[in-house]
Amino acid sequence: MDRFIGLDFGTTNSALALADARGGSELVRFPTREGPSSTFRSVLFFDPSELDPRLGVRAYAGPQALEHYRDAVQPGRLIQSLKSYLATDLLRSTTVFERSYTLEQLIALILRGIRAQCGDALGDPSSVVKGLVVGRPVKFSNADTPADEQRALDRLRAALAIAGIEDVTFEYEPVGAAYFYESRLDHDELVLIGDFGGGTSDFCLVRVGPTARRDASAKRILGTEGVGLAGDVFDGEIVDAVVSPRLGKGTTYRSYLDGKEIGVPSWLYERVRRWHHLSFLRSRETMKFLKEMRDQCPDPRALAALLHLVEDDLGFDLHRAVEGTKVKLSREGAVNLRFVDDPVDIDVAVARADFERWIEGDLAQLRACIDRLLAQTGVKAADVDRVFLTGGTSMVPAVRKIFVERFGENRLRAGDELTSVASGLALRARELHG
């Protein structure tokens, strides 16, 4: 075996890396209109203009999905963040243009897209791939029990098998990041790894360096911890505070039955908050309900905006505007969140101080998770040599501040926020199979 493969299947982005028998690891690049990319967006787009009588509506994955979504002449179906459903029964199957798909089948379509668009990195797309190391979070999103965790692993393994990927070894994602960090070291360290994804935040205390690599019997991983929140939850806080009030949250409508004023149901805005759930509102019954409320609302424009957002499946575009605002707030004290698609008209100044206030409850959970890891392993903060942070949310100043307060600015390191896990998983594959 002359190459070893690491796959980081993420809630928002995925990445694939290869390691050879001697050197480091190399990321696979995927073609896009803007040029080669080392990340593969974990999305599907079903294009109703391309219909096969036997296979149904054609599905595109990754960069191709986004390109077809933007070019579509008629509304299709964009599906994303499928990883966040693995541990729960919220999504067992869904119907897309009159054809039913299980969650495993949908994820397999993304994995097949990765295979098809990665050139010859995995060989013939019709062949069986063996010996991969695939990343998994320490705690799956929405997993409340060990049974939930096992369900998530079983479903992910089944999806990989459908895509022709077998004999898979799962490894914690922060362990993958640790192997990537270690590849640059010429000395020993005790490192706290923080891996912040779209749906989960995972932590690992691990010994790295030449001594740890040489001594196979040494206990390298001292402990792991995780919590089911990260980038998507932070985005949701912005949606709650800025977007939903401009889509009718907190307003009322007049009941057809008795003429009483009734509050617009909050469950609608839970779907908006979880932007990848927005397409679930496109059922016939919900659309009818939205139109009835709009017609009986004292200020119908806000509910008309919500109806338009759902009807035209604008969840992804809204998410990009929200995510872009969050990213800019990492560099600036205040930015404008702008999303205009008539009748939707959102143009609001957002201050970093307000954003940090909205996410304070989430930050408290991150602090508690780190404290649990230190307590369980009996490691004092002063004994940690380095803290390596990876993932997009690690760049949020309020998140970084948690680690500065506990470990000091001089011990923090970061790098390759979206791809270090895949690179490290390939190195782990080499260690296991080489």
Q: How confident is the model at residue 40 (pLDDT cuts 50, 70, 90)?
A: very high
H-assigned helices in 183-314: 210-214, 231-238, 267-273, 284-295, 300-311
- Counted domains in the chain: 1
pLDDT at site 95? 86
Q: How confident is the model at residue 218 (pLDDT cuts 50, 70, 90)?
A: low
For 328, the 3-state DSSP assignment is: helix
* Residue 39 CA from chain centroid, whole number: 12
The CATH number of the domain holding residue 114 is: 3.30.420.40
Q: Is the pLDDT of residue 288 over 90?
A: yes
How many residues are given for the chain?
434
Residue at 11 is within a domain: yes
Q: How confident is the model at residue 213 (pLDDT cuts 50, 70, 90)?
A: confident
pLDDT at site 217? 56
Backbone angles phi, psi at 125, to 5 degrees: -55, -20
Residue at 24 is within a domain: yes
Q: Which amino acid is at 210?
A: P
Domain that holds residue 107: 3-172+424-433
Backbone angles phi, psi at 220, to 5 degrees: -80, -45
Q: Which amino acid is at 415?
A: G
Q: Which residues does residue 4 pair with via DSSP β-bridges, in sequence order?
A: 19
Residue in this structure with the two tokens 């698609």, named with its chain if needed: 341
Q: What Cα–Cα distance (Å) separates residue 65 from each residue in 20, 32, 114?
A: 31, 11, 12
Q: Is the pLDDT of residue 158 over 90?
A: yes
Q: Residue 396's closest CA among 347, 362, 346? A: 362
Q: How confident is the model at residue 366 (pLDDT cuts 50, 70, 90)?
A: very high
The upper half-sphere exposure of residue 1, i.e. CA atoms within 13 Å in the direction of its Cβ, equals: 16
Q: What is the pLDDT of residues 64-109, one digit of tens each?
A: 999 998 888 887 888 988 999 999 887 888 888 888 999 999 999 9
Overall average pLDDT of the 340-354 stretch = 95
* Percent of the chain residues topping a pLDDT of 70: 97
Residue at 115 is within a domain: yes
CB 179 within 8 A of CB 199: no
Residue at 184 is within a domain: no
Backbone angles phi, psi at 312, to 5 degrees: -95, 10
Distant-in-sequence, close-in-space partners of 290: CB < 8 Å, separation ≥ 6: 268, 281, 303, 306, 307, 310
Residue at 27 is within a domain: yes
Report how far residue 154's alpha carbon sits from residue 147's, in angstroms, rounded to the nearest whole number: 10
Report how far residue 355's alpha carbon sits from residue 306's, in angstroms, rounded to the nearest whole number: 23
Backbone angles phi, psi at 93, to 5 degrees: -155, 165
Q: Which two tokens stand for residue 101?
A: 């798909």
CB 25 within 8 A of CB 17: yes
Q: What Cα–Cα distance (Å) separates residue 237 from each residue in 247, 362, 374, 396?
A: 15, 10, 28, 14
For 143, the 3-state DSSP assignment is: coil
Residue at 254 is within a domain: no
The pTM of this model reads 0.85
Residue at 78 is within a domain: yes
Residue at 198 is within a domain: no
Q: Is the pLDDT of residue 1 over 60?
A: no
* Residue 300 CA from chain centroid, whole number: 34
